[in-house]
Amino acid sequence: MEDVLEGRDKDNMQFRQLRYFVKIVEAGSFSRAATIVHVAQPALSQQIADLEERLGVTLLQRGARGIRPTASGQMLYKEASAILHQLDRLPGIVRSSTGEPEGTVNLGFVSSLAPRLVGFLEEGRAAFPKVIIRLSDGDSLTLESKIASTSVDIAILYEDAFTTALTRKPLFRQKLFLVSCKPVADRDNFISLERVAELPLVLPGATNGRRVLIERVFAEAKLKPNIVLEADSLVSEMWAARNEVGCTILPVGDLSNFGPDAFARPALIEPAIYLTCSIVYSADFPLTIAGEAVCDFLVDFIERRVRQTDMPGAEWIAKS
């Protein structure tokens, strides 16, 4: 289909050139992109040179740290990504219109929810045998960016404020817990915010939504968190807590998947701190039939998990 759309008019921009350009921006270098798209680097460079000549602008800046898009290149990257995403969806849209859902759905989920989504893929494959589900994880800000760039169709993420232009459905509220290697809570497994302020904390970077919420809650209580380490991933946070560098604060009340002795039982912070778990997708590009089917199925799956007892501190809020 792409070859038909491209045609043979050499004066027109080719979809193949747009794909090459997008891959170069994402890879950050011609050599890495050449490996990904299986094209010799000189040929790839010539394709981009032709594209720049046709558009009459410089698209890429070459520096010691790799390739970066110019302002014009950044605009082209955004628009080309959206166009190619729509193009890739066409076969699935056409096939799904004749019967059961078919195609590829790119699904993202916030890392701390990963253990709670075990079983979704197996159930999803059984429900939609003609749908390929591709998974990626990350923090909420990263997932929102992936939706904006159309590399993710649907994301499950935690939010405190609904500020970005996405279509979203809040699903449940989740209390935050103090996670530590050794017990620090009282007999009922509660811990006051004042006590948390006395403990060394490992938290994500300043732009992370969970970090912003925690900082605000402490400020409102006229307290200052004792942050001893900033982690760039959930894996780093858990590693630091496991090795007693400090405690962390997570929307997770059950860490049994790490083993019985890896962490103390997560302590519920009082007064309670909440994040909202939402399912989100682009407000500009409607979901395919396969995407809508996976979205509805995922909401049902998460509701079943929340209403079970293995997600402490979770309260379902979505309306039927």
Among residues 14, 20, 137, the alpha carbon closest in space to that of 67 is found at 20
Round the CA-based radius of gyration of the chain to a whole number and report it: 23
Q: What's domain 177-272's superfamily in CATH?
A: Periplasmic binding protein-like II (3.40.190.10)
- Whether the full predicted model's pTM is greater than 0.85, yes or no, is no
Domain covering 2-82 assigned CATH 1.10.10.10 in the classification:
yes
Top mean-pLDDT range of 22-36, 148-162, 268-282:
268-282
Q: Find the DSSP H helices in the chain.
A: 2-6, 15-27, 30-37, 41-55, 71-96, 120-127, 140-148, 193-198, 209-220, 234-242, 289-306
**How sure is the predictor about 33, in pLDDT bands with cuts at 50, 70 and 90?**
confident
- pLDDT at residue 99 greater than cutoff 80: no
In angstroms, the CA 224 to CA 193 distance is: 10
Burial class (CB in 10 A: 0-12, 13-18, 19+), 84: middle
Q: For position 117, what pLDDT does the model report?
A: 83
- pLDDT at residue 317 greater than cutoff 80: yes
Burial class (CB in 10 A: 0-12, 13-18, 19+), 25: buried
- The amino acid that residue 257 corresponds to is N
Question: Structural domain boundaries of the chain?
Answer: 2-82, 100-171+281-310, 177-272
User: What kind of architecture, by CATH, is found in domain 100-171+281-310?
Assistant: 3-Layer(aba) Sandwich (3.40)
Measured torsion, CA atoms of residues 92, 98, 99, 100, in degrees rounded to the nearest 10: 10
- pLDDT at residue 159 greater than cutoff 50: yes
Q: For position 163, what pLDDT does the model report?
A: 65
Question: Is omega for the bond preceding 271 within 30 degrees of 0, making it cis?
Answer: yes
- Is the fold of 100-171+281-310 the same as that of 177-272? yes
Q: For position 116, what pLDDT does the model report?
A: 81
Section 181-207 average pLDDT: 93
What is the DSSP code string of 11-36? TSPPHHHHHHHHHHHHHTSHHHHHHH
- pLDDT at residue 178 greater than cutoff 60: yes
3-class state of residue 203 by DSSP: strand
